[in-house]
Amino acid sequence: MSMHRSWHYVDETKRRQWQNPEAVSDAIGLKPGLTFVDVGCGDGFFTLPAARLVGPTGKVYGVDIGSEAIDEMRRKASGEGLTNLELTVSKAEETILCHACADIVFFGNVLHDFQDPAEVVKNARKMLKPKGKLVNLDWKKIGMTFGPPLSMRFDEATATHLIEHAGFKVESIKESGLYHYLIIADPL
C-alpha cells in the first residue's frame, strides 16, 4: 500500500543510484522457483525484478492501494512477457493474498506508511510458509533531503518490536546501503 506521496515516485534511474533491487533480492536469498509477496509494491521497483528472478517456476504476488501504480506494473510486466505475477489493488490491512504459500513476504520502504502496520505484519505471518522469511527494508531514521519525513520513519527498534509482536523472531538487522536497513525475520 503506497500512500500517494511524492517521495514514493522518484525516477527509477535516480533511485537505482542509492538502492539496487537485484542486490536486495540477492541479500534476502530470492532465487528461481520461490514465491515472493511484495506488500505495498507500488509500480514494481522490487516486484518486477523479483518476477524475473523467480522465473516461470516461481510466483510473485503484489498488493498496493494505488490502482495507477498496479496498472503501470501490469503494462511493464506485459511488455516483458512476465506471466508469473498476481497483482491486487487493495489495502494491505485487509488483504491476505494466499495462506502459507510465500517463501518471502517483503516490505520495501513502506512499513511506516500503513494505517495499521501491526495488522499488516500479522497478515504477512498468515501468508508465509512455516520456513518462510519476512523481510523489512526501510529508511534509516536519519535526516536527509529525500524520502519520507523523519517523523514518519520507523527506527530499527520500532520495526523490530512490530515484527516480534506479530509472531516472528528477528534473524538479522543490517545496513542496506547508506539510507536503509534490512530486517529478516522467521515465523515462530
Average the pLDDT over 125-148 and give the result: 94
Report CA torsion sign: 161, 19, 124, 150: positive
| CATH of segment(s) 22-187 | 3.40.50.150
Delimit the domains of the chain by residue range. Answer: 22-187
Average the pLDDT over 9-13 and give the result: 61
Average the pLDDT over 137-161 and give the result: 93
Reduced to 3 DSSP states, what percent helix, strand and coil does the chain have, rounded to the nearest 5?
A: 35, 30, 35
Lowest-confidence range among 127-136, 138-147, 161-170? 138-147
pTM to 2 decimals?
0.92
Burial of residue 74, with CB atoms counted within 10 A of its CB: 0-12 exposed, 13-18 middle, 19 or more buried? middle
Residue 6 pLDDT > 50? no
Grid cell 520507523 — which residue?
A: 154
